[in-house]
């Protein structure tokens, strides 16, 4: 897969995390999110972008009309495809965004 | 004694203060050391006495102490009573002039204190030297004949009792005549009749009697012609010279072997009175002192320019006294050499050096070449904590010179200082207290965080080694805060943050330095909070079981792997405290995930929650 190197700033990661948190506030139960995080953590660990995004998008798909989900999708669309180094940072920003729902 | 900490606030009231020129300043320190050595006066006592009566101190107390100390260096003792009598007497009397103080001191007490040393010198020369050197110019004929009689008897004595003498003097090889030390032994040791037999004892007693005669003759001469005598017979002027020599000031002024007693006296007075104006004498002083300065080729330290006494002579009163005392600032340490600690504060310098001397045997007994460094720093820290004189921290030197006796020309000087940045950090009490800790890093090996920091060594490796022991329960140390302070400090000093530029614009550096300590403290606080959160969030067994695994990931510097394992632990916990979850989430996201440069310090900070303490 070819990708263009995009400059991703701290602000971008902050936004990814915030959008993810907002989007997931309305998706599934605590247990559902917990299971999803496990899954995402496992795919991030082996640096598997395809599996990571397919799990994530499947979850987002259930509320594709939500404005926060739309915002996140647009951001990811802009980022995609990612180098493996950038992917890790993006992946953990997403994971931590989902986890942050529990702190609200 | 007046309490030091109270007194330090009166620093500005000290009569004698440092000048900023290290050679002169160390001379002042040597001056204090000298008076302490002879009169047992501490720094404050000497300052007080200078304030009360400066002239008595410089024209009476100093010359007496200086000559006594030179005599002591030659191995002769000065009876305590003479010193005590002198101090009592000089403070009781009234003097009309400086000259009168000096003359009184020299004629009555310096001469008295020098008696034994002079006698030893005269006899030892007559015994140990040959022909021309045997008798000093002006030696009275009576003494010559007394010595001749002693030597004649000695020959006979050796011929008759060679075996007993060999036994008595512990001599194994052949010998023809006595040396001065042998004569001393006869003089000082009682001879046991039973051990050596009748004849030997009889002869030895006779020999002792003859020696006593020589001794008594010299006593009488010195007493009648030198002590309290203004007009020493001219023909014996060199004979009565006080036999002192100084390795540092070889042949300088009154150390000059050809000088008469009178000339010695005059020269010492001139030195005290700063009357030395002759160009060649000043030149000699400059040369002597400049041995301590590296050549221009080698000079890497540009702070010190060669010292020319003529520029100082009118500005600094008693300049030559300090220059003469310069070598007394140093203390000799076995395996290290002559050493002195120097800072810009006279009291701190005095205190640190005094404490270093107290630790001398410990410093010398350690194999570690860094022990002097460690001891100095420990002493400096103890002293400034007590004195609250933090400004000292910015200006510290450890000056060392090699052996003097081998070569006078080449002397090695080393400077030890800390940067402004380090001083800024250490001025803060919390940071200093937490860095002033020894961390166990091996079964019997400890590292002092402070030392590592001063030496610009990474603290993180020490902490890692220490944590291995903690994880394996091989250390009893349980402290957490020193580790967190070290981590926060190093995280904030990370090279990327621009503290490495030596020639940075001082104004911008100042601002940076001002912000540094608050930033370190803020980071430490964040780490501490994350650590506490982890402790609260996870049960003890989970923390214990996962600690080794997490630590090994940190050691491999695998940030995402660390985050992965940590997050799995966090999501499986049932914690309901939302604030705690939020804190932890923010910490991991900002300080670890987003932080590519210093994440490891924050990861370790959080990891502290996994270990006991």
- Model pLDDT for residues B62-83, shown as the tens digit of each residue: 999 999 999 998 888 889 999 9
With 70 as the cut, is the pLDDT of residue B476 above it?
yes
Same domain, B268 and B176: no
Is B447 part of any domain? no
Task: Quote the pLDDT of residue B385.
Answer: 67
Q: From the CA of B531, how many Å to the nearest CA of chain A?
A: 18
Residue B598 CA to residue B613 CA, distance in Å, equals 24
Is A46 part of any domain? yes
Q: What is the mean pLDDT of chain B?
A: 82
Residue B4 CA to residue A70 CA, distance in Å, equals 72
B510 versus B97: the higher-pLDDT residue is B97
Last residue of a domain, one of B176, B195, B227: B227
Q: Which chain B residues are Cβ-neighbours of A103 within 8 angstroms? A: 578-579, 581-582, 585
Query: Which of the four pLDDT bands, split at 50, 70 and 90, describes residue B460?
Result: very high
Is B563 part of any domain? no
Is A18 part of any domain? yes
Is B532 part of any domain? no
Q: Which chain B residues are Cβ-neighbours of A44 within 8 angstroms? A: 560, 564
Q: Count CA atoms within 13 Å of residue B486 on its CB side.
A: 31
**Interior angle at CA B350, CA B346 and CA B354, nearest 5:** 175
With 90 as the cut, is the pLDDT of residue B355 above it?
no
Chain CA centroid to CA B359, Å: 10
With 90 as the cut, is the pLDDT of residue B593 above it?
yes
Is B372 part of any domain? no
Is B41 part of any domain? yes
C-beta atoms of A96 and B585 within 8 A: yes
User: A79 CB near a chain B CB, below 8 Å?
Assistant: no
Residue B221 CA to residue A40 CA, distance in Å, equals 106
Which pTM does this prediction carry? 0.69
Task: Quote the pLDDT of residue B522.
Answer: 96
Same domain, B34 and B55: yes
Best of A94, A99, A100, A101 to mutate (most B CBs within 10 Å, chain B): A99
Same domain, B245 and B197: no
Is A4 part of any domain? no
With 60 as the cut, is the pLDDT of residue B498 above it?
no
With 80 as the cut, is the pLDDT of residue B512 above it?
no
B320 Cβ contact partners less than 8 Å away, ≥ 6 residues apart:
B271, B272, B274, B276, B285, B309
Q: Count CA atoms within 13 Å of residue A98 on its CB side.
A: 28
Task: Quote the pLDDT of residue B333.
Answer: 80
Q: From the CA of A104, how many Å to the nearest CA of chain B?
A: 6
Is B428 part of any domain? no
Number of domains making up chain B:
2
Is A54 part of any domain? yes
Task: Quote the pLDDT of residue B297.
Answer: 47
C-beta atoms of B563 and A45 within 8 A: no
Residue B540 CA to residue B556 CA, distance in Å, equals 25
Task: Quote the pLDDT of residue B583.
Answer: 94
Token pair, residue B476, equals 């009893």
Indicate the residue of B560, B561, B567 with minimum beta-carbon distance to A99.
Answer: B567
H-run or E-run covering B585 = helix B578-587
Same domain, B173 and B308: no
Same domain, B284 and B259: yes
Query: Which of the four pLDDT bands, split at 50, 70 and 90, describes residue A6?
Result: low
Is A96 part of any domain? yes
DSSP labels for B438-481? EEEEETTEEEEHHHHHHTT--HHHHHHHHHHHHHTT-------H
Of A24, A103, A33, the closest CA to residue B575 belongs to: A103
Name the most confidently modeled range: B199-213, B290-304, B504-518. Answer: B199-213
The count of CB pairs under 8 A between chains A and B is 51
Q: Which chain A residues are Cβ-neighbours of B594 within 8 angstroms? A: 10, 13, 89
Number of domains making up chain A:
1
Q: Which domain holds residue B219?
A: 137-227
Chain CA centroid to CA B26, Å: 11
Is A87 part of any domain? yes
**A81: preceding bond cis by omega (within 30 degrees):** yes
Task: Quote the pLDDT of residue B82.
Answer: 94
């Amino acid at each position: 897969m070819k990708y263009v190197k995009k400059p991703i700033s701290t602000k971008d990661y902050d936004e990814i995390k915030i959008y993810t948190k907002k989007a997931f506030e309305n998706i599934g139960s605590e247990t559902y999110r917990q299971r999803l995080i496990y899954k995402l953590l496992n795919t991030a660990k082996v640096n598997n972008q395809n599996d990571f995004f397919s799990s994530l998008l499947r979850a987002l798909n259930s509320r594709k009309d939500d404005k926060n989900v739309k915002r996140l999708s647009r951001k990811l669309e802009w980022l995609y495809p990612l180098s493996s180094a950038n992917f890790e940072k993006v992946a953990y920003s997403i994971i931590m965004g989902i986890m942050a729902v529990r702190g609200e | 004694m007046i309490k030091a900490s109270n007194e330090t606030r009166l620093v500005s009231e000290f009569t004698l203060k440092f000048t900023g020129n290290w050679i002169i300043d160390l001379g002042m320190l040597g001056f204090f050391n000298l008076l302490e050595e002879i009169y047992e006066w501490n720094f404050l006592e000497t300052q007080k006495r200078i304030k009360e009566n400066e002239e008595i101190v410089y024209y009476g107390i100093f010359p007496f102490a200086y000559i006594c100390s030179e005599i002591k260096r030659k191995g002769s003792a000065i009876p305590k009573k003479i010193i005590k009598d002198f101090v009592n007497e000089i403070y009781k009397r009234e003097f009309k002039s400086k000259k009168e103080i000096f003359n009184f001191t020299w004629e009555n007490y310096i001469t008295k204190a020098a008696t034994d040393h002079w006698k030893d010198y005269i006899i030892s020369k007559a015994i140990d030297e040959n022909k021309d050197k045997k008798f000093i110019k002006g030696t009275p004929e009576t003494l010559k004949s007394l010595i001749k009689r002693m030597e004649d008897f000695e020959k006979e004595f050796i011929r008759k009792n060679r075996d007993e003498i060999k036994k008595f003097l512990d001599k194994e090889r052949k010998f023809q005549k006595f040396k001065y030390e042998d004569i001393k032994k006869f003089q000082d040791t009682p001879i046991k009749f039973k051990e050596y037999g009748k004849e030997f004892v009889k002869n030895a007693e006779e020999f002792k009697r003859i020696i006593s005669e020589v001794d008594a003759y010299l006593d009488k001469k010195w007493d009648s012609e030198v002590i309290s005598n203004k007009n020493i017979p001219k023909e014996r002027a060199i004979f009565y010279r006080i036999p002192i020599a100084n390795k540092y000031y070889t042949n300088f002024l009154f150390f000059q072997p050809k000088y008469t007693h009178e000339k010695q006296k005059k020269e010492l007075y001139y030195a005290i009175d700063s009357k030395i104006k002759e160009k060649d004498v000043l030149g000699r002083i400059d040369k002597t002192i400049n041995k301590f300065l590296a050549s221009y080729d080698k000079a890497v330290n540009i702070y010190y320019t060669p010292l020319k006494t003529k520029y100082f002579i009118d500005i600094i009163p008693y300049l030559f006294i300090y220059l003469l005392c310069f070598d007394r600032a140093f203390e000799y340490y076995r395996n290290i050499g002559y050493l002195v600690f120097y800072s810009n504060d006279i009291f701190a310098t005095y205190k640190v050096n005094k404490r270093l001397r107290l630790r001398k045997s410990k410093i010398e007994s350690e194999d570690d070449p860094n022990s002097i460094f460690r001891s100095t720093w420990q002493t400096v820290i103890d002293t400034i904590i007590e004195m609250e004189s933090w400004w000292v921290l910015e200006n510290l030197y450890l000056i060392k010179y090699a052996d003097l006796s081998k070569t006078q020309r080449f002397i090695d000087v080393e400077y030890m200082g800390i940067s402004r940045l380090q001083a800024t950090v250490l001025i803060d009490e919390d940071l200093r207290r937490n860095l002033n800790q020894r961390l166990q890093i091996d079964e019997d090996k400890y590292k002092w965080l402070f030392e590592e920091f001063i030496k610009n060594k990474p603290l993180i490796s020490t902490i890692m080694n220490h944590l291995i022991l903690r994880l394996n329960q091989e250390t009893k140390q349980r402290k957490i805060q020193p580790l967190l302070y070290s981590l926060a400090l190093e995280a904030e000093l990370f090279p990327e943050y621009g503290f490495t530029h030596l020639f940075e614009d001082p104004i911008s550096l100042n601002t940076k330095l001002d912000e540094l300590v608050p930033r370190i403290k803020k980071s430490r606080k964040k780490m501490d909070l994350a650590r506490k959160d982890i402790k609260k969030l996870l049960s003890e067994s989970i923390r214990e079981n996962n600690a080794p695994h997490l630590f090994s990931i940190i050691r491999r510097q695998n940030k995402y792997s660390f985050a992965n394992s940590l997050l799995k632990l966090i999501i499986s916990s049932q914690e309901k405290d939302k604030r705690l979850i939020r804190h932890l989430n923010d910490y991991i996201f900002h300080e670890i995930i987003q932080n590519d440069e210093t994440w490891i310090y924050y990861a370790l900070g959080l990891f502290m929650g996994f270990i006991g303490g």
